[in-house]
């Protein structure tokens, strides 16, 4: 069975939040400690795919012993989704080759300007990641795995969710068009962002995420990109039985 591991399930601040002593931020339950959102997928044939490279990537890679990436899918260029790009150089060192990183035109342009040193010639010896920027223009393939980009709105900007077989990963969405909903037809597992209880201009709230899940009606849905609003054990029981909060380190099977 193909496997997906949640490397991080937190919003941009992570949880605990610096300086906060709310119940969640003080919780000893590891499921209340959320690194920045990212998932690692391994297919039946062993192809290894990362979605987003947040600022916690180094710790996530160490914890889950990630040392090989056949490709990286990027949802968008906000810091909590690309801030760990420099850490990829150790993966390059082990793989002895560059890594293909996929995103929209805006995402790739932002990566080039924020990590400009990567793309400039510098003296030999300064370790830099080696990335091959790959523009997502439609369905793509990483080794044998077919991937369907799912355009969604994140406030005013268009970003990408990704569908791999019967699983879809959508983060940072605040609106999904009818056209994109069609691309999600027949999925069994949906991973979708649910920021907090109150509405937010650029992220689905819990109520909005639940509405989308009802519309798409997957067998199972996982909520991610969570703030400290949610206390895992207290709030899990309030969710419908086919919906769960994702937590760091959770592994699920998919096809
Ligand atoms: Zn984010
Ligand atoms: Zn807190
Ligand atoms: Zn964002």
Q: What is the pLDDT of residues 93-134, one digit of tens each?
A: 999 999 999 999 999 999 999 999 999 988 776 689 999 999
Q: Is residue 176 part of a domain?
A: yes
Q: Is residue 110 part of a domain?
A: yes
Report the alpha-carbon distance of residue 217 to residue 189 in Å, rounded.
9
Q: Total structural domains in the chain?
A: 1
**From the CA of 230, which ligand is nearest?**
2
Going from the Cα of 123 to the center of ligand 1, the distance in angstroms, rounded, reads 34
Closest CA to 130 of 157, 160, 100, 152: 100
Going from the Cα of 20 to the center of ligand 2, the distance in angstroms, rounded, reads 5
Q: Is residue 239 part of a domain?
A: yes
- Give every residue of the chain whose pLDDT is below 70, as ranges: 125-126
Report the alpha-carbon distance of residue 216 to residue 183 in Å, rounded.
10
Residues 6+ apart with CB under 8 A from 135: 102, 103, 104, 105, 108
3 state SS of 92: helix
Domain that holds residue 176: 2-250
Going from the Cα of 139 to the center of ligand 1, the distance in angstroms, rounded, reads 23
**What CATH number corresponds to the domain at position 201?**
3.60.15.10
Q: Report the pLDDT value the prediction gives residue 231, as an integer from 0 to 100.
A: 98
Going from the Cα of 13 to the center of ligand 2, the distance in angstroms, rounded, reads 10
Q: Is residue 160 part of a domain?
A: yes
**From the CA of 171, which ligand is nearest?**
1
Distances (CA, A) of 93 to 69, 98, 127, 175: 12, 9, 9, 39
Q: Report the pLDDT value the prediction gives residue 134, as an integer from 0 to 100.
A: 98
3 state SS of 232: helix
Q: Are the CB atoms for 207 and 229 separated by under 8 Å? A: no
Q: Is residue 6 part of a domain?
A: yes
Six-digit token pair at 91? 């993966």
Q: Is residue 111 part of a domain?
A: yes
Name the residues around ion ligand 1, CB cutoff 5 A.
Answer: 80, 172
Q: Is residue 234 part of a domain?
A: yes
Q: Report the pLDDT value the prediction gives residue 126, as an integer from 0 to 100.
A: 66
**From the CA of 18, which ligand is nearest?**
2
Q: Is residue 255 part of a domain?
A: no
**From the CA of 17, which ligand is nearest?**
2
Going from the Cα of 200 to the center of ligand 2, the distance in angstroms, rounded, reads 17
Going from the Cα of 76 to the center of ligand 3, the distance in angstroms, rounded, reads 7
**From the CA of 54, which ligand is nearest?**
1
Report the alpha-carbon distance of residue 143 to residue 141 in Å, rounded.
6
């Amino acid at each position: 069975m193909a496997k997906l591991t949640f490397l991080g399930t937190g919003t941009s601040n992570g949880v605990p939040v610096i300086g906060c002593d709310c119940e969640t931020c003080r919780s000893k339950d590891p499921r209340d400690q959320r690194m920045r959102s990212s998932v690692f997928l391994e297919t039946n044939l062993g192809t290894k795919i990362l979605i987003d490279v947040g600022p916690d990537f180094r710790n996530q890679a160490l914890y889950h012993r990630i040392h090989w990436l056949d490709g990286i899918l990027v949802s968008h260029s906000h810091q909590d989704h690309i801030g760990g790009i420099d850490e990829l150089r150790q993966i390059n060192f082990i793989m002895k080759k560059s890594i293909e990183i996929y995103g929209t035109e805006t995402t790739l342009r932002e990566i080039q300007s924020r990590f400009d040193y990567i793309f400039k010639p510098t003296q030999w010896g300064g370790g830099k990641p080696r990335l091959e920027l790959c523009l997502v223009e439609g369905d793509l393939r990483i080794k044998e795995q077919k991937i369907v980009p799912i355009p969604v709105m994140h406030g005013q900007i268009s970003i990408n969710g990704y569908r791999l077989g019967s699983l879809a990963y959508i983060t940072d969405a605040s609106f999904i068009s009818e056209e994109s909903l069609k691309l999600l037809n027949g999925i069994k597992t949906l991973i979708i962002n649910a920021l907090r209880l109150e509405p937010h201009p650029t992220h689905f709230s819990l109520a909005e995420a639940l509405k989308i899940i009802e519309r798409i009606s997957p067998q199972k849905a996982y909520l991610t990109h969570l703030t400290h609003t949610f206390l895992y054990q207290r709030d899990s029981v309030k969710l419908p039985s086919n919906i769960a909060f994702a937590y760091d380190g959770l592994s699920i099977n998919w096809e």
